[in-house]
Structure 1
Amino acid sequence: MTDDLAHERTEDIEIRLLLDALYYRYHYDFRDYAMASIKRRLRQGRQQLGFASFSAMQDALMRDPDMLPRLLGFLTVQVSEMFRDPSYFRAIREKVVPHLRTYPSLKVWIAGCSAGEELYSMVILFREEGLEERTLFYATDINQEALRAADTGIFSLDRIPLFTENHRKSGGRHSLSEYYHAAYGRASFDKSLRRKVVFSDHSLVTDAVFGEMHLISCRNVLIYFNRSAQDRALGLFEGSLVRKGFLGLGAKESLRFSSQAGSFVDFVREEKIYQRSAQ
């Protein structure tokens, strides 16, 4: 065995033990995440946090509670943008909303909400379509730091031009500037956008069905799971949706090869929007 191969195998063992420690100590389960992605992020974390090995990271995790949020910052993906993939939000606006109008009250779940970009996008869309008042939004993530950031509704001002262009392309009915005020290099989105939002810590890998939802949007989260974790998450979504409820996934995600494929039909195929079957 070459030295490089031996080092690689040692690394793999250390990472598995680190993930076990994270689960058994703090009940965060990353063991069924795609290993290539986990390894890449942990290597970045080890370098930036100054650890000589993953075993040293594990030791710090077990002994220092402050290590948990630092480690989660590397393991969870916090890169997004408002109205990301505008055609997806246009499809929600033009194709899904007409069906949602038929319900007297609505529940929407933004799963893996990160710092809140998709959440605020959806709330703004629902406000513009006259559905906000009858809707309760659930924003969940496993990273409590991300949830706290989402609850503030504050984003760097240099991100706003992209958000504004995305909003326009998504069919926005007003200027995005109506929803925030800018000061000191930051854009602070109006508190009223959070009035109908419930923020909650929730893991798609370990936690149970969340509620009875009319729309679930979980975009660019499943790509970080292995096949069994993807199936579990999709099972949660199926169990959480009302009959004929809607599920939106990311551009590189699909139901096609999952065990839940038979429970859904394509609704807007090109935007990965599915509808739960009526049975």
Structure 2
Amino acid sequence: MSQKRLLLWVFHSFTLIAGIQFLQYYIFYNSSYPFPYTANLVNSFGTFYTYLLLLPLVFYSAKSAFSNLENRVQRMLLLVLSGLLVSMLHLFVMHFVNWLQIYQWTEDPFWNSYRFLISKWLHFELIAYFLFVLAWRFLVFEKKGSEASKPEYWTQIKVKEAGLVSFVPVEEIRWIEAYDNYIKVRTKKDKFHLVRMPLREIEAKLDSGHFKRIHRSTIVAIREVVAIHQDNGQYRVLLEDNSTLKLSRTFKKSIEDSIRV
């Protein structure tokens, strides 16, 4: 779920809850309630909609905590302080709106009634704050984090030969083997390309779902593997072009599982 969809979901939920609360005031209390019906409308919808204005601050504090802080104590401290700020700010805005409509005509001082409001509703505000933080983390942040963590695999390999630069698509590769400080790339056209790069580096750049190491000096394209057989106590892989490559016992199970898939 994107952050925009989460906000829309929250907006619709708040509208439903505020509507139910207003109907409750209107049906059961409006005839005897000391406040006008417009005040009930502001109390019902304003209570929820003013919190919507603070949601960017909630998401920003959550993003700062989960993206920039590794220490759990610091992360929790930031979230708690942000929650207190957001909660007290929301209560202040709502109390100020109510005071302009109603309480300024009473004898109760503004700050006394505000302190009473904090003592009564602060814990509910903090619960709402942390619910939003959790929703943002698991519905938005976790998804973005998983997408960002996906490595960008190469789709082609840059090759320099005889002063010319060309690109070999990974779909054309049959296998790759180490050759001193170079690698030799064998393609479907039965060509070898020499690339100055260690084998471990090219292994990290290729999708492990399509390329597997079968020996400390060899990586093979899984699609090219036809069978695995044993020859004089040694394992070898048979490729589609009838080539055979040495298979180490260390990588035998990995390549077998890949072929089954």
Question: Is the shorter-chain TM-score for this pair beyond 0.5, marking a shared fold?
Answer: no
> Highest Rg: 1 or 2?
2
TM-score bracket for the superposition, by shorter chain length: under 0.3
Q: TM-score, normalised by structure 1?
A: 0.21
Structure with bigger helix share is 2
Larger RCO (CA under 8 A, 6+ residues apart): 1
Q: TM-score, normalised by structure 2?
A: 0.22
